[in-house]
Structure 1
Amino acid sequence: MPPSQNSTDATPPWVVAPTEERNPETVDIDLASTLDLLRMINDEDAKVPAAVRAVLPALATAVDLATVALRAGHRVHYFGAGTSGRIAMMDAAELTPTYGTDPAQVVAHHAGGLEAVQRPIEGVEDREANGAAEGGELGPGDVAVGLAASGRTPYVVGALRAARGRGARTILISANPAASLGAEVDVHVGVATGPEVIAGSTRMKAGTAQKMLLNAFSTAVMVRLGRTYSNLMVAVAARNAKLRGRVVRILVEATGLEPRVCAEAAELAEGDCRVALVSLLAEVPVPAARRALAETGGAVRPALAIAGPGN
């Protein structure tokens, strides 16, 4: 998407992003049979995982920045417009039920607000000043993650520049490795997904790549913060019958103990899976498990070392 007239992006408006170029593999897509059409789409989709793998070193740096920020009590904010913004909002919303995070820890901003999530609002992505106003709410130690397929969406540009001006660390996730904004941020995760099946339709490969990258980013951050034990979601609290059953199953998987024993431990821990897990594995009372987890910020493995025999 070309920058708005008030944008200070140095990219000339006539220079198209890679996602806006015509794809030579799909020029006859409107003449193809339905099955061949779908094969064309699938062939292009198959290129995305390799493109994502190529930028994992940059993504790892982004994960470490966010982990340090959250561990220190700061926040991570996502900024995006259109498809990018919707992916960001979905990712942020799913962290609380999956990993027990405070909703204020990872916050998503969509150009145009919640109304624009369901119904596109013309021109909101071009309002750099709106992004700057929202990015300006961040402070030192926070992390701003901008998602823009072109790497130059004015709303995202404004948000990242304002956040950086406030002392926040900045990350750009784009489908344009050559985006000029990449030189202004701390980390640019520029994935080369190339031309879309339908020129400019960035809900396709670029959107798939952003979903993969943001899934991996937030999951890795949660793992680094100790919100899992092994590959189990132990930061879940048993607030209803379904979740109580899930906590018991997790405890059985993690400890190898009988379901009855795990259910009793979960009840003593008032549904807190991590407290029950540390209590069972370290063979300590619930209060000792709580104290150990408080010392480690909720991370189970180091809490086990603190609560274990002789400590």
Structure 2
Amino acid sequence: MTAIELAIGPCLFNWSPEHLTDFYARIADEAPVERVYLGEVVCGKRMPFSDPVWPQVIERLQRAGKTVVLSSLALPATVRERKAMIGLAEAGLPLEFNDMSMLATTAPGPFVAGPFLNVYNEAALGALVRHGASDWCPPVEVPLASIAAVARAHPQVTVELFAFGRLPLALSGRCYHARAHGLSKDSCQFVCEKDPDGMNVATLDKARFLAVNGIQTLSDSCQVVTLGPERLMENGVSRLRLSPHTVDMVEVARAYRDLLDGTASEAETEARLTAMDLPGPPCNAALAGEAGWRQVAL
């Protein structure tokens, strides 16, 4: 049986350089994952603070035998950010494209089609394969049946399923996180750093609703997908993505590794994960084609 890989996705939140360094040191030394994505995906204003950390982090992860992939911004909006994307392409490491403009920025070569790209069917993925896509992390709202159909049409592509973490739903040119604190986007004071798992948003009736991370909207719920290796392979999935949060991500990775190695059942793994201090209630129903905030039997 082909082994299912584990990957740590890019950190979506505004963590301090010290937090990032400590986090990836533990991932390098303790987490049973094969691949780690690095880079700022959400807000280019954060890059001057996080960019100096990456060379040290990359060296530490590679020394531990991890494959390092650099993730692009999902909404580059300035000349500086576009130049940063060109620099990313010149770094000599595998890349994840989260914006279609990366196709014009980089020379042809293998890349990961990230979950921020609008790839919902066989034709869309086929177009990216012709440009060099070798891996695909589907948008989080794509049902498992659709993922399986696309995977069957492109068996040469490695499919990576977003299995854990708050679901990245949308990006905006405006920053609600700043606005909620009476600030503008241009003078945001990086207030998003106060919410390392995103800022909880409630309805007028005080019901939990969504989460905000700078210009990004996330689910309030936390994706927890605990399909076993046989069921994953039946649907064309050969890698799981775990999105970083302040919960102990080493323990999260160990729980998934036990599941994929067959030493823990799907039910045992779900119980183990939901007993942790997750940022929100568990969910997985988008994979069943239902309202994504719910947790259902897949």
Asked if these proteins are the same fold (TM beyond 0.5), I'd say no
Q: Which has the higher helix share?
A: 1
Q: Which has the higher strand share?
A: 2
| Greater C-alpha radius of gyration | 1
TM-score by length of 2: 0.29
TM-score by length of 1: 0.28
